[in-house]
Amino acid sequence: MTIDGEFREVHAPHKLVYTWRIDDGGDEPSLVTVRFEARAGASTEVIVVHERIASMPVRESHEQGWVGCLEGLDRHFTQG
């Protein structure tokens, strides 16, 4: 699988916005916004919004992928 895209906004360390397109480039790229929001106790909440997804099956696949990534990130920081 090949994924390409371009960064549209970089507001370090608070926000990233970028396009996302898989493989053949046939569909219009989707748009991903990732926000990092400070929370009490020196923790950070990561909020991912993935928009303009072509179909429900693709949306569900992305949702599973994002949940897996965020759960892995949580395990890394809570067990480390």
Q: Report the CATH superfamily, name and number, of domain 3-79.
A: START domain (3.30.530.20)
pLDDT tens digits in sequence order for the chain, 80 residues long: 788 999 999 999 999 999 999 876 667 899 999 999 999 988 899 999 999 998 999 899 999 999 999 999 989 988 86
Give this prediction's pTM: 0.86
Query: What are the DSSP E strand ranges found in the chain?
Result: 3-4, 7-11, 15-22, 30-39, 43-51
Domains of the chain, by residue range, sit at 3-79
Other CB atoms within 10 Å distance of the CB of residue 12? 7
DSSP 14: T
Contacts of 44 (CB under 8 A, 6+ apart): 36, 37, 38
